């Protein structure tokens, strides 16, 4: 199998001192590339540090909606200063989270709009986090022309109609390990019905561990189980799901090779 984990957080403390092992296990499982995604200034730097250390790792930099209350102008200046680094594949994750509301909604919206424009300035595709805010995320992307360099709606949690709307804007849709859960009917429907060329797969490790490892810490090696689930739903070979989603990821993030 040739797989890419389009979204993981090996930059978080859950992986402290363990990244060597995690990367080795991923490579053994056929995961050739991983995108390590930032959620604040410090872990964006950490993502880039890992990308410089490991050939198979690429970085995304950005401020997660949870952390927009604490963000400062100088944080953005420091992110902007990273522009041009070859191992930065995307800007993110950015967006809106109206489920947990760790930051006030108005701030989340303002910083999302601002970061869509920063991503455009840096000519980077975007990684979008959308939790119970589909319409607002969509409206802000349209208003700010946040589709200019493409990108992905990660951990997609809306229905097939919404998936197609975002695809029409030029985005791809990323399916996480929760698609293996028996009750994830809507996610299974998206994974089954959307054109395969518009789908990425991800772990969001250390979160959202798929069956059969549910309850443990997630890691990129387990992205295989997402590919297998989608293969089952579409009655296709898991190798084909792995290969096509890997190519999609390389296309969207302009990963070499
Ligand atoms: Ni994430």
pLDDT tens digits, 2-60: 999 999 999 999 999 999 999 999 999 999 999 999 999 999 999 999 999 999 999 99
**What distance in Å separates the CA atoms of residue 244 and residue 128, rounded to the nearest whole number?**
21
Q: Model confidence over 129-177: pLDDT tens digits?
A: 999 999 999 999 999 999 999 999 999 999 999 999 999 999 999 999 9
For ligand 1, the distance from its centroid to the CA atom of residue 28, given in whole angstroms, is 23
Q: How far is CA 205 from CA 11, 140, 212, 229, 244, in A?
A: 10, 27, 15, 17, 21
For ligand 1, the distance from its centroid to the CA atom of residue 158, given in whole angstroms, is 16
For ligand 1, the distance from its centroid to the CA atom of residue 131, given in whole angstroms, is 11
For ligand 1, the distance from its centroid to the CA atom of residue 127, given in whole angstroms, is 9
- Please state the domain count of the chain: 1
Give the 3-state secondary structure of residue 210: coil
Q: Model confidence over 204-213: pLDDT tens digits?
A: 999 999 999 9
The predicted structure's pLDDT at residue 237: 98
For ligand 1, the distance from its centroid to the CA atom of residue 202, given in whole angstroms, is 9
- Structural domain containing residue 89: 3-253
Name the DSSP letter for residue 205: T
Neighbours of ion ligand 1 (CB under 5 A): 204
Instruction: Say which CATH number the domain at 218 has.
Output: 3.20.20.140
The predicted structure's pLDDT at residue 83: 86
Q: What is the overall mean pLDDT for the chain?
A: 97
What's the gap between Cα 205 and its chain centre? Answer: 10
Which of 64, 53, 44 has its CA nearest to residue 22? 53
Roughly what angle, to the nearest 10 degrees, separates helices 223-234 and 185-193?
70
């Amino acid at each position: 199998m040739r797989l890419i984990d389009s979204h993981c957080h090996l930059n978080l403390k859950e992986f402290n001192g363990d990244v060597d092992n995690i990367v080795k296990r991923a490579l053994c499982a056929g995961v050739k590339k991983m995108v390590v995604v930032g959620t604040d200034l410090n872990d964006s730097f950490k993502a880039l540090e890992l990308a410089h250390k490991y050939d198979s790792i690429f970085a995304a930099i950005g401020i997660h909606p949870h952390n927009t209350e604490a963000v400062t102008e100088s944080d953005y200046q420091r992110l902007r200063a990273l522009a041009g680094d070859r191992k930065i594949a995307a800007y993110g994750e950015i967006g809106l989270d109206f489920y947990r509301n760790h930051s006030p909604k108005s701030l989340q919206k303002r910083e999302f709009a601002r970061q869509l424009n920063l991503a455009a300035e840096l000519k980077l595709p975007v990684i979008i986090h959308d939790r119970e805010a589909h319409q607002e995320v969509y409206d802000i992307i349209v208003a700010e022309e946040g589709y200019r360099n493409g990108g992905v709606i990660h951990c997609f949690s809306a229905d097939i109609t919404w998936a197609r709307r975002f695809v029409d804007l030029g985005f791809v849709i990323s399916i996480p390990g929760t698609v293996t859960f028996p009750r994830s009917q809507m996610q299974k429907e998206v994974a089954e019905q959307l054109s395969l060329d518009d789908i990425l797969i991800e772990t969001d490790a250390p979160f959202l561990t798929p069956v059969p490892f549910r309850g443990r810490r997630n890691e990129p090696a387990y992205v295989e189980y997402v590919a297998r689930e989608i293969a089952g739903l579409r009655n296709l070979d898991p190798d084909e799901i792995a290969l096509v989603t890997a190519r999609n990821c390389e296309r969207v993030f302009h990963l070499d090779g």
